[in-house]
Amino acid sequence: MTSIKLDQIDIRILDEIQREGRITKLALAERVGISPTPCWTRLRRLEKAGVITGYHARIALRLVTPITTVLMEITLGAHRQADFDRFERVIKTLPEVVACWSVGGGVDYVLKVMTRDIDAYQRLVDDLLQREIGIDRYFTYIVTKTVKDDAVLPVAELLPEQGNS
């Protein structure tokens, strides 16, 4: 994978559009301190390179309906590539699974699941177990309070020092 070199203006563009995806081209250029045409050119380059993968709205679903958020650890019974592939294929089809990470350590996957209530979550788990997709063990963690759920990535803090020039 080729690394894209970003300068401080690119980083400011990324920071701004993460915070306000619907910002106008003119306002974005003003905030990052360059004229609109070069700003637009940089934005298009970042999109074309795949650095910007989309623009999304964050929805406060709890204002519309009660929801239950669950974190789930899953360990598979077998660890061949075909076992991982089968599990991942099914997980990608489930809208209630809003995030899934393959992890190292004592478990194979960590999932973020959102359902209407605990009963709906349990029905989902029952369905997963009935599908026989290799789940050996699972652990459930009910989210009782969201302390931080920030969709804005700390771009400048994550880049190596030489990338911040």
Contact residues for 106 (Cβ-Cβ < 8 A; gap 6+) = 75
Residue 150: the pLDDT is 80
**pLDDT tens figures, 123-133:** 999 999 999 99
Average of per-residue pLDDT across 98-106: 95
* Residue 1's pLDDT band (cuts 50, 70, 90): low
Pick from 72, 76, 70: nearest CA to 133 = 76
Alpha helices in 4-154 (DSSP H): 8-19, 25-32, 36-48, 81-91, 118-130
* Residue 38's pLDDT band (cuts 50, 70, 90): very high
Residue 163: the pLDDT is 41
How does the average pLDDT of the chain come out, rounded?
Answer: 91
Q: How far apart are CA 63 and CA 154, in angstroms?
A: 27
